[in-house]
């Protein structure tokens, strides 16, 4: 979850600094899927 949030923050920073245009809205579903994948990974 923390890594996913960090990637989103980097994307927002790049967009604000006009370094690279990244579609942040397309990455938002990752916030819901990250805990599910972490739970599955911890079970195996």
pLDDT along the chain (44 residues), means of 10: 88 94 90 91 88
CA distance 42 to 10: 27
- Name the nearest CA neighbour of 6 among 33, 26, 38, 30: 30
Is the overall model pTM greater than 0.75, yes or no? Answer: no
Which pLDDT does position 12 carry in this prediction?
A: 94
Q: Which two tokens stand for residue 15?
A: 């967009």
Domain interval for residue 22: 2-43
Contact between residue 31 and residue 39 where contact means Cβ atoms under 8 Å apart: no
Total number of domains constituting the chain = 1
SS3 20: coil
């Amino acid at each position: 979850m923390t890594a996913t949030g960090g990637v989103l923050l980097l994307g927002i920073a790049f967009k604000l600094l006009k370094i690279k245009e990244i579609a942040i809205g397309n990455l938002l579903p990752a916030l819901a899927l990250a805990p599910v994948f972490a739970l599955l990974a911890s079970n195996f």
